[in-house]
């Protein structure tokens, strides 16, 4: 029997990351799933919940502490995976966040909000991917994913023909300061646009190594992202997070292998 594929997902204890773990556990394929979490306790709670929800799963779950904004933490996490598993088959850079509401509320300065957003959403992914590369290159079928956002499309900033696009692309009234509304996203969407370019760089770097690379745009999901609550997000049109988990599971299982190097949505390629 072949070894289980070793999958490492950051931010795996909550939101979309948790839904990916649960979706993988529901499949008939047995995976070795490493759930990356800033808090080991929260990670272990998530594992216990998955085992309760999917008691018949043949996959194996474990927790590795990782804060992608800390080089020491990333190094320890990669070291742990190296000593325990010796390789990685799938790396999902899922950990991310938005700090625009904290900026809006005056809890962070402009520089603090933007630096936190780019450090978490891009620099953290770059550090982890770089340190994990020796593990990925030991896999016969390595997959590398960066979880991006539908708001990161430059082309779609010119569209107003969909309610969500009309909302996020609307220009506020004249004057200063501007009211960015209930869900400000400037630092978030700009960092995710940068993440799309980072994905393209990794696609270029690994093209001759056989590593499959994507940016994953899971859609507008009712997770805790942005700190405005799942119910508010649902009122704005957000879908159930499990749909995003199933989508990423499909990419892991090869259903989007023909779209490598792209930003993939469930039904289409996301415009640049």
Q: Which of 37, 57, 149, 187 is catalytic?
A: 149
Residue 243: its pLDDT value, please? Answer: 86
pLDDT at 240: 73
C-alpha distance from residue 149 to each of 146, 215, 251 (Å): 10, 9, 16
Q: How confident is the model at residue 122 (pLDDT cuts 50, 70, 90)?
A: very high
Question: Where do runs of H (alpha helix) occur along the chain?
Answer: 15-26, 40-53, 71-84, 100-104, 110-118, 124-136, 163-168, 186-205, 230-235, 241-252
Task: Round to whole Å and give the CA distance between 74 and 64.
Answer: 10
Describe the crossing of helices 241-252 and 15-26 by its angle, rounded to 10 degrees. Answer: 60
pLDDT exceeds cutoff 70 at 79: yes
59, 116, 153, 188: which is the annotated catalytic residue?
Answer: 188
Structure confidence at residue 178 (pLDDT): 87
182-215: pLDDT as tens digits: 778 999 999 999 999 999 999 999 999 999 999 9
Kindly tell me if the per-residue pLDDT of 1 is higher than 50.
Answer: no
- What's the half-sphere exposure (Cβ side, CA atoms, 13 Å) at 133? 13
**CATH class of this structure's domain 5-264:** alpha beta
Mean pLDDT, all residues of the chain: 93
Q: Decide if 18 is catalytic.
A: no
Phi, psi of 238 (to 5 degrees): -70, 145
DSSP state of 152: G
Kindly list the domain boundaries of the chain, sorted by start residue: 5-264
Average pLDDT score over residue span 138-155: 97
- 203 has catalytic annotation: no
Catalytic residue among 22, 116, 192, 249: 192
In this prediction, residues 135-155 reach a mean pLDDT of 97
Give the residue-averaged pLDDT of 12-23: 94
What's the pLDDT score for residue 143? 98
């Amino acid at each position: 029997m072949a070894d289980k594929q070793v999958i490492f997902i950051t931010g795996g204890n909550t939101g979309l990351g948790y839904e990916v773990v649960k979706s993988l556990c529901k499949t008939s394929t047995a995976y070795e799933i490493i759930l990356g979490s800033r808090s080991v306790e929260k990670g272990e709670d998530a594992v216990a919940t998955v085992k309760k929800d999917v008691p018949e799963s043949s996959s194996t779950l474990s927790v590795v502490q990782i804060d992608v904004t800390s080089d020491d933490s990333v190094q320890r996490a990669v070291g742990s995976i190296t000593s325990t598993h010796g390789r990685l088959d799938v790396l999902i850079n899922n950990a991310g966040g938005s700090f625009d509401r904290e900026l809006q509320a005056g809890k962070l300065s402009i520089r603090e909000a933007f630096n936190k957003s780019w450090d978490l959403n891009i620099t953290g992914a770059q550090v982890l991917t770089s340190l994990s590369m020796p593990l990925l290159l030991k896999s016969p079928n390595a997959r590398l994913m960066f979880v991006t956002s539908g708001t990161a499309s430059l082309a779609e900033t010119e569209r107003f023909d969909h309610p969500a696009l009309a909302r996020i692309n609307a220009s506020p009234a004249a004057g200063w300061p501007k009211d960015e509304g209930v869900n400000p996203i400037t630092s978030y969407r700009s960092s995710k646009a940068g993440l799309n370019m980072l994905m393209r760089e990794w696609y270029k770097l690994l093209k001759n190594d056989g590593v499959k690379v994507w940016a994953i745009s899971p859609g507008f999901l009712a997770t805790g992202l942005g700190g405005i609550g799942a119910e508010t997000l649902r009122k704005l049109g957000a879908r159930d997070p499990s749909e995003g988990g199933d989508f990423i599971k499909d990419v892991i299982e090869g259903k989007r292998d023909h779209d490598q190097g792209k930003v993939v949505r469930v039904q289409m390629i996301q415009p640049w």
